[in-house]
Amino acid sequence: MSTSAKKREPIPRNGIEIIDPYVPGKSEATGGTKTYKLSSNETPLGPSPKAVAAFQAAAGTLEMYPDGASTRLRQAIGQRFGLDPNRIVCGTGSDELLHLLATAYIGPGDEGIFTEHGFLVYKIAILAAGGMPVIADEKDFTANVDNILALVTPRTRVIFIANPNNPTGTYLPFEEVKRLHAALPPTVLLVLDGAYAEYVRRNDYSAGIDLVSNNENVVMTRTFSKIHGLASLRIGWCYAPARVCDVLNRIRGPFNVSGPAIEAGIAAINDTNHVETSADHNEKWLTILTDEIRAMGLKVTPSAANFVLIHFPNEKGRTSTDADTFLSSNGVVLRAVSSYGIPDGLRMTVGTEEANRLTLDLLRQFVAR
């Protein structure tokens, strides 16, 4: 477009048009009589029936604005985890909170750090805020504290760590997270994204609640989209220092969580039995999928989340693209992760027993071709 033409239309701020839009996983297969969507890390058990009932009951008051402070939802979260509700901020999914944190603490000339295969929203949020994304190399598809610290400069404002990470499923032990934080200047905000925290059953893991409680520069974000099965309602929350909460509440939308979402979220957070059942199902199948896919001769990155990252060889007819095409033609949709810098990988969500067994059978057929 010519300069003269640009002058006749609104011009976005520098940096906006270099952002690659986030592209979610595919929803439809190209073949098969039924589609098994294992591309978006959705829980196979669905939401708590209590959350569904609460959502349906809220349909009678759709003409009313919701509580702009999500007070009852924050109280329910606080009671569930033993947290001060005044240090909780709710959002339209944790994605909104990640964007708000970048907007609040990153500006032109500032830097935000995330890791090599980290969640794509971090880069988008940093660029949207006018900052410069800085990428730390990982080791064995896992965040590396020393590599992150080597990139910290006086321009560093925020460090985003997904723990466990998406799309790799790897995690940083809590001792490593504490080592990272201890070496940071107090002006650098450490954001611990715990979207998959409820799935982790490792003794050396922590989502970071204690670290947030005792420091002024740590934030933990969480979501209702994964184990709680409320992805369509878009509910997230963060636990943060009081000063950070004050900042976020100044810039977030006044009614950023809908009334039905608030009611469903309250019911979901209180249904601990449903959460445990979902975590049990995931732990069982995470082990089965990892072991059986490895037995086929394919590499699987060790995962602590609700998905596995499968690596395919760079051989004609056996690549991840070939596998994706074959699976999709038989009704199974996985997530290609080349946009995360992993061109040989497909991410498979832990699904229902039916979906898991079908995918394993298809992978065996693919490998044997």
Q: State whether CATH 3.40.640.10 applies to domain 49-270.
A: yes
Question: Which range among 6-20, 37-51, 160-174, 229-243 shows the weakest confidence by mean pLDDT?
Answer: 6-20
The residue among 111, 33, 67 whose CA lies nearest residue 263 is: 67
For position 243, what pLDDT does the model report?
98
For position 356, what pLDDT does the model report?
98
Instruction: For residues 251 and 288, give the distance between their C-alpha atoms in angstroms, rounded to a whole number.
Output: 45
| DSSP letters spanning 296-337 | TT-EEE--SSSEEEEE--SSTTTSHHHHHHHHHHTTEE-EE-
For position 70, what pLDDT does the model report?
98
- Hey, what are 264's tokens? 């469903």
In sequence order, the 6+-apart residues with CB closer than 8 A to the CB of 340 are 117, 120, 167
Which residue is it, tokens 């200047």? 185
For the chain, what are the domain ranges?
23-46+273-368, 49-270
Q: Is the CA virtual torsion 136, 137, 143, 147 positive or negative?
A: negative
pLDDT in tens, 320-351: 999 999 999 999 999 999 999 999 999 999 99
For position 3, what pLDDT does the model report?
54
Pick the CATH number of 23-46+273-368 from 3.30.70.20, 3.40.190.10, 3.40.640.10, 3.90.1150.10: 3.90.1150.10
